[in-house]
Structure 1
Amino acid sequence: MQAVVLTENGAQPTVATIPVPKPGPGEVLVKMYASPINPSDLAFLAGGYGVKKPYPVVPGFEGSGTVVAAGKGILPKIWLGKKIACAASPKLNGCWAEYMVTTASSCVPLSKKISTEQGSMMFVNPMTALAFFDVYKNTPNPSNKLRGIINTAAASALGRMVIRIGKQKGIPVISIVRRNEQVDMLKPEGAEYILNSSDPDFELKLKELSQQLNATILFDAVGGKMPQQLLSAAPKGSKLFIYGRLSAEPCEILPSDLIFTGNQIQGFWLTNWLHENGMIKTLLTIREVQSLIKHELATHIHKQFSIGQITEAIEIYKNKMSKGKVLLRF
């Protein structure tokens, strides 16, 4: 079969012919249909992600396809022949191949109302968006006042989902982007509060709006100087969740913005959130994703490429993330 193969971190992924894997107990073989390129995939390619696998390895964390073979166990047999969305096993090769073996518990059957393209993007961003609002709900709110959310890298697929869900729930969301064209992109999404971090008065506007909307729950995917800008602007008692590092600059925090304000910083990783919340909550979240994936959790697809065009696909995604998702088709 054809697969994208990474030989070492930071290396250029190449296309190679490798054997079709066989599913073991509790596993299924998926004939892949599509898989997106996500920021987490780029981090994995560079060797900077939380999941480590031995090289050579097939990248790709999520996708969709059809289960064509099943290992021992009840669940694998149930999924046999089904169209599914799937996540890669942390111990096996990933989704960027014509066939992939993963655990049966990492698969979800797709309803007829969900396309295989949207299904291939059902795990990473939609579940993260819903997890953010679960974090919002479960973070203590001593004042009992309505709180706002600040989210950076807001022109991304995930950022747009946060805007739509916030609007649905009546929670004000301050969306931070870095270019004027991204401001224009978000207005049709229903974004009410958009700030451009490249504007000279960005920090002043951010502080005014944060205080006005009581925006005490902060999500940052940028890193660099952004976390400090968020903490300086946010009301006292805010909590910053860092879930990405798009900037290559080091992140520096003024101790006073933690010591004297009651502000807190915490990392967020979807994998940990799923483990901490258990199987039942995960299943309920997946059900909610399926119910919202055509509207609030829908993802715009910018371009689609064949597996042989992996180099071009990665470059297009790196340089034009806010245009929409790039899909690999098999």
Structure 2
Amino acid sequence: MKAAVFLSFGDPSEVLKVQDVPTPEPGPGEVRVRMIASPVNPSDTMVVEGRYGVLPKLPATPGFEGVGVVDKAGPGLMGRFLVGKRVVAINQRGGNWAEYAVIPWKQARPLPDDIADDQAATFFVNPVTALAMVRHVLAVPKGEWLLLSAAGSTLGKMIVKLGRRDGFKTLCVVRRSEAKRELIDLGADAVVSSSEGPVPEQVRKITGDDGPRYAIDPIGGEAGTAIYRSLGKGGRLVVYGSLTDEPIQVDPRSLISSRTSVEGFWLGYWMSERSIPGALLLFREVAALIREGVLDADVGKTYPLDQVGEAVREAAAVGRGGKVLLRMSAAGRSAVS
């Protein structure tokens, strides 16, 4: 089979090469998925760069999520029921940027027929992260402000739409002033740009001196520090990434006197604490919100696997339009209107 492989960590557009490799065979409790499509997420490219929290042994193939059809099951009863089914392929080890991937049967989630391939490919990482942080970890109440950085990302846009549905207010932070209009049109209650002045001052003008009590940040460094300093008393900041590889600066006296808190969120850890019935209910919740147009991904360009270099360059481009997909097979469900 063909797979995108990297032999060393580095710039994804340079170190990723499509190679012929042995087609994997499923072991006990595993299934093999004939991959249809997989997105290019920041977590995938950070693995290739050697900047992710958990790194694979080399050589390796990226790709934590995607959509495909189970074509073979290893020894064991449960996997056999999945053969022939189109599934969300959750690959915690990575490896979905290939024509075939082997995963535990529990990580192959059957999909409703009305979820198109492009949405199915992006079904897990962003939608579940958004839902988990907002509804389960922070449990943002109706009428409260949620402050979020990287608001123009696919996940950020999902949270803006979730806010409109659930009744909490979104205060978005972007780098470029020209990015504000799109988020306002999408339904954000307020948008500020870090290029237009200190973020905490802009936030206070909108929320008042009390400041927001809920915030999320995937950036860290100066941007994450600004988000933290914008919090009101008793505020909570959930950090779900570190795109800059720089620390958030927290003043201990401020932390104590304002009773604020900073906590980390990693989807893999959070999901491992869910029961199988709980995970099934979560996936049904995500599917329903995708149908409503709340957690649907804004999909941009799609590239064949052998153009993986072009795909990762497009995914890294500033101001790109939508999530970039890699397509391995034409079989599946096409996009629907």
TM-score between the two structures when normalised by the length of structure 2: 0.91
Identify the residue that residue 49 of structure 2 maps to in structure 1.
46
Give the match for residue 182 of structure 2.
185
Which residue of the partner structure matches residue 95 of structure 1?
96
1:136 corresponds in structure 2 to: 138
Q: Distance in 1 between matches of 2:105 and 2:155?
A: 26
Q: 2:40 matched to 1:37?
A: yes
> How many equivalent residue pairs?
323
> Partner of 1:114: helix, strand, or coil?
coil
Amino acid aligned to 2:138: Y
Quick one: which amino acid aligns to residue 174 of structure 2?
V
Deviations 1:220-264 (A, max 9, x none): 011111232222221111111111122244432222221211111
Q: Give, as a single letter, the amino acid of the residue that structure 2 aligns with 1:66.
A: V
- What is the distance in 2 between the residues matched to 1:305 and 1:248? 29
Distance 2:230 2:34 in 1: 49
Pairing of 1:88-167 with structure 2 (within 5 A) = 88-90=91-93, 94-133=95-134, 134-137=136-139, 146-167=143-164
Q: Is the 8 A contact 1:3 1:96 kept in 2?
A: yes
1:273 correspondence with 2:284: no
Map 1:223-242 → 2, pairs under 5 A: 223-242=220-239
Partner of 2:314: 316
Q: Output aligned runs, 1:281-320, within 5 Å.
A: 281-294=278-291, 295-320=293-318
| Cα offset, 1:148, TM superposition | 1.8
Q: What's the % identity of the aligned pairs?
A: 35
Of residues 58-67 and 43-52 in structure 1, the stretch that sits farther from structure 2 once superposed is 43-52
- Specify the SS of the correspondent of 2:203: helix
| Aligned 8 A contact 1:237 1:261 in 2 | yes
Contact 1:223 1:246 in 2 (8 A): yes
Deviation string 1:136-177 (CA, Å, 9 cap, x unpaired) is 22x8xxxx9953211110001100110111111111111111
Q: Equivalents in 2 of 1:46, 1:201: separation in Å? A: 31
Work out the CA distance in 2 between the residues paired with 1:321 and 1:98.
30
Give the distance between the partners of 1:298 and 1:41, measured in 2 at CA. 20
Contact 1:237 1:262 in 2 (8 A): yes
* Matching residue's letter, 2:10: G
For residues 196-215 of structure 1, what are the structure 2 equivalents within 5 Å? Answer: 196-211=193-208, 215=212
Distance 1:145 1:64, change over 3 A: closer
Q: C-alpha root-mean-square deviation of aligned residues, in Å?
A: 1.9
Report the equivalent of 1:5.
5
Mapped to 1, the partners of 2:142 and 2:179 lie a distance apart of: 30
Query: Cα offset for 1:49?
Result: 1.6
Query: Retained in 2: the 8 A contact 1:211–1:234?
Result: no
| Bigger RCO of structures 1 and 2 (CA < 8 A, at least 6 apart) | 2
* Whole-Å separation in 1 of the counterparts to 2:306 and 2:149: 33
Where structure 2 has 5 or more consecutive residues not aligned to the other structure, the ranges are: 329-337
Normalising by structure 1, we get a TM-score of 0.92
Counterpart CA distance in 1 for 2:189 and 2:209 is: 14
Alpha-carbon distance between aligned partners in 1 of 2:120 and 2:319, rounded to the nearest angstrom? 19
2:215 alignment partner, SS class = strand
Q: 1:216 to 1:159 in 2, by over 3 A?
A: same
Alignment partners' CA distance in 1, 2:256 and 2:182: 38
Against the structure 1 CA distance between its residues 233 and 13, is the aligned structure 2 distance closer, same or farther, given a 3 Å change threshold? same
Matches within 5 A, 1:13-32: 13-32=16-35
Instruction: Quote how far apart the aligned CAs of 1:321 are.
Output: 5.9
Instruction: Supply the AA of the counterpart residue of 1:208.
Output: K
Unaligned runs of 5+ in 1: none
Residues 77-109 of structure 1 show CA distances to partners (whole Å, capped at 9, x for unaligned) of 11100111111142xx51000111111100111
Aligned counterparts of 2:34 and 2:104: Cα–Cα separation in 1: 14
